[in-house]
Chain A
Amino acid sequence: MLNTLTIHEVLERLNRGECRSEDVVNSVLDAIRRTDGRVHGYLTLNEADALEQARAADRARGQGAKGRLLGVPIAVKDVLNVKGQPCTCGSKILKGYISPYDATAIARLRAEGAIFVGRTNMDEFAMGSTTENSAYGVTRNPWDLAYVPGGSSGGSAAVVAANECVAALGSDTGGSVRQPASFCGCVGLKPTYGRISRYGLTAYASSLDQIGPMTKDVRDAALLLEIMAGVDEADSTSLPQAVPDYQAALTKDLKGVTVGLPKEYFVGGLDTEVERCVQEAIEVCRKLGAKIVEVSLPHTRVAVDTYYIIAPAEASANLSRFDGVRYGYRAQGAVDPLDLYKKTRAEGFGPEVKRRIILGTYVLSSGYYDAFYLRAQKVRTLIRRDFEAAFAQCSVILSPVAPTPAYQIGEKSSDPLQMYLGDIFTVPVNLAGICGLSVPCGLACGRLPVGLHVMGPALGEETILRTGYAFEQATEWRSQRSKMAVENAG
């Protein structure tokens, strides 16, 4: 049952000598064998390597080595480069590619002794909200295998929720950490843009992407953030501000915290069960001492449009490098480079990626740039200003993470626009470059998790983690287990 523990629980036991890292890794591997055939959260496992590293960590601990994650297994979304491992990004086009380097976030975790046990499934190039867009099969929600785990970091959310790992990493461009965390009932943090280096994170939309921890509780998210955050000379967009002690910010009350509720968020279209869970959560916060005020984010209604212009535009350029020349998949029988590109990309990309590449190419093309891309960039400024004005009145903003709980596999895949509109609560955070957290806050109809979205201003991680922590400690939601987690409880 070591696999069911959080990082800080595992570390306590390791430090007290109650278990060995090898036991933890074996426990995780057992759980994977037991349920991952059904969940399909992992794409690749590094069993032998992970066990070898675990034994090395045990020896090191015996010799007095420290390391804030010494011997702790972490699952990694298949979008991050880990030296010597594949990194498919859920795409056929990266088949065969082996990373020659560690992402900065990975290097920082590695330096603290983390063990990278396996790679998790995702929507191809992080484009999607269900993990149905993977070239390597769908991942299923551990609460109900007929349901999607959310996306694009659905694999990471699912393996955390199924207790097939201790913690995981995801990436969030428009909600890809927070929404699957909400769907699977785990904690997901999207840090402020630039807080964690993007070096080594395969780019979807460079001005929006952030790596984020996906964990079983808020304390673990704070710990992983603390290790990964901080300026990196390999990423020009990383923030130079010093990294605070996030765990020290965690308190059990919310005295002095002002919670803003955006009036535009609690209108039609919200699932009644989601609304009920979030309203109950707001009440909990009030009881914990928070002051509740109404705020306004007037440009919310255009956020999805803005996002689906800017993100595909950047993606259209970011994904140009996948051309069959230097790495990954190459189509056979091409007569010249042009033919090679067109065939390789036609065969290597799935439909959602093609759709977004075409959309992004279109909004940048001659004659459309001003009307779409440039205008979207201006609206992005307006969205950022909305948040600046709101955060002048409150310290955090609460909302649902997604308008609905998880839905059935195949239910929404035929209508991309409807799928995109489900990102309404998460994309504004990426557009504004601020931070957001998803914390479990209930079960819709008693069976599917619902996440509470805690948004904070730029570099407001301490406050959102504190809010999430106080809420989590005051409620029982984090002890609710998915069906797969129950099987893996040992």
Chain B
Amino acid sequence: MTEDKTQSAKKMDVRYVANLARLNLTDGEVVEFQSQLDHIVEHFNQLRSLNVDGVEPMAHATPIQNVFREDVVRPGLDRDVILNNAPEQSSGLVMVPTIVE
């Protein structure tokens, strides 16, 4: 997290990032997104001009802490409901093409 690649790298590696996000892109999309995203990321450089030393990052819009639920079991969904939503199902399981481990 501490290493900063933004100084050296100019352009986003759109294909690499899309792969991290598990998205196939066509060549056309890569070209289109490359120019659009470069443009947007360049605009982000505005943030560099600000001094944020000592500023706490804001992860939440509310100051609440310690929100818990009690350890109580409640009924969930009927199996049929979740199986009916699944694109493929069999023997009570949600099916996917073979996982190679």
Nearest residue, chain A, Cβ from B32? A351
Residue A293 at the chain B interface, CB threshold 8 Å: no
Q: Give the most central of B37, B46, B47, B59: most A CB within 10 Å.
A: B47
Residue B50 at the chain A interface, CB threshold 8 Å: yes
Q: Are A207 and B85 in contact (CB under 8 A)?
A: no
Shortest Cβ distance from residue B63 to the other chain A in the assembled complex, whole angstroms: 9
Among A366, A368, A420, the residue within 8 A (CB) of B40 is A420
Q: Which residues of B contact A362 (CB under 8 A)?
A: 12, 17, 37, 41
Q: Are A417 and B39 in contact (CB under 8 A)?
A: yes
The DSSP consensus for interface residues of chain B is: loop
Q: Are B5 and A367 in contact (CB under 8 A)?
A: yes
CA distance A189 to B88 in the complex (A): 41
Residue B2 at the chain A interface, CB threshold 8 Å: yes
CA distance A357 to B21 in the complex (A): 7
Q: Mark B83-94, 1 if CB is under 8 A from A, else 0.
A: 011111000001
Nearest residue, chain B, Cβ from A346? B24
Shortest Cβ distance from residue A375 to the other chain B in the assembled complex, whole angstroms: 5
Residue A236 at the chain B interface, CB threshold 8 Å: yes
Residue A199 at the chain B interface, CB threshold 8 Å: no
Sorting the interface of chain B by its residue count into under 10, 10 to 19, 20 to 34 or 35 or more gives 35 or more
Q: A323-B22, A382-B50 are in contact. Are A371 and B4 (CB under 8 A)?
A: yes
Q: Are B12 and A346 in contact (CB under 8 A)?
A: no
Q: Which residues of B contact A208 (CB under 8 A)?
A: 61
Q: Are B99 and A355 in contact (CB under 8 A)?
A: no
Residue B73 at the chain A interface, CB threshold 8 Å: no
Q: Which residues of B contact A381 (CB under 8 A)?
A: 55-58
The DSSP consensus for interface residues of chain A is: helix
Nearest residue, chain A, Cβ from B54? A378
Which residues from 324 to 350 on chain A have a C-beta closer than 8 Å to any C-beta of chain B?
324-330, 334-343, 345-346, 349
CA distance A100 to B80 in the complex (A): 11
Sorting the interface of chain A by its residue count into under 10, 10 to 19, 20 to 34 or 35 or more gives 35 or more
Among listed A216-224, A302-310, A392-400, interface-contacting one: A302-310
Q: Give the most central of B64, B94, B98: most A CB within 10 Å.
A: B64
Which residues from 1 to 17 on chain B have a C-beta closer than 8 Å to any C-beta of chain A?
1-6, 9, 12, 14, 17
CA distance A292 to B41 in the complex (A): 38
Q: A239-B64, A368-B5 are in contact. Are A100 and B82 (CB under 8 A)?
A: yes
Q: Are B87 and A302 in contact (CB under 8 A)?
A: no
Q: A98-B85, A305-B44, A378-B52 are in contact. Are A345 and B23 (CB under 8 A)?
A: yes
Q: Are B1 and A358 in contact (CB under 8 A)?
A: no
Among B2, B36, B84, B97, the residue within 8 A (CB) of A337 is B97
Binding site for A on B (CB under 8 A): 1-6, 9, 12, 14, 17-25, 29, 32-33, 36-37, 39-41, 43-44, 46-48, 50, 52, 55-62, 64, 67, 69, 77, 81-82, 84-88, 94, 96-100
Given A367-B5, A374-B1, A381-B56, 20 additional A-B pairs, CB 8 A: A96-B85, A97-B85, A98-B84, A237-B60, A237-B64, A239-B64, A305-B43, A309-B44, A325-B87, A335-B97, A336-B97, A345-B24, A346-B25, A354-B29, A357-B23, A358-B17, A358-B37, A361-B17, A361-B20, A415-B36
Binding site for B on A (CB under 8 A): 96-98, 100-101, 193-194, 207-208, 233, 236-237, 239-240, 299, 301-302, 305-306, 308-309, 316, 320, 323-330, 334-343, 345-346, 349, 351, 354-355, 357-359, 361-362, 365-372, 374-382, 384, 415-417, 420, 430-433, 458
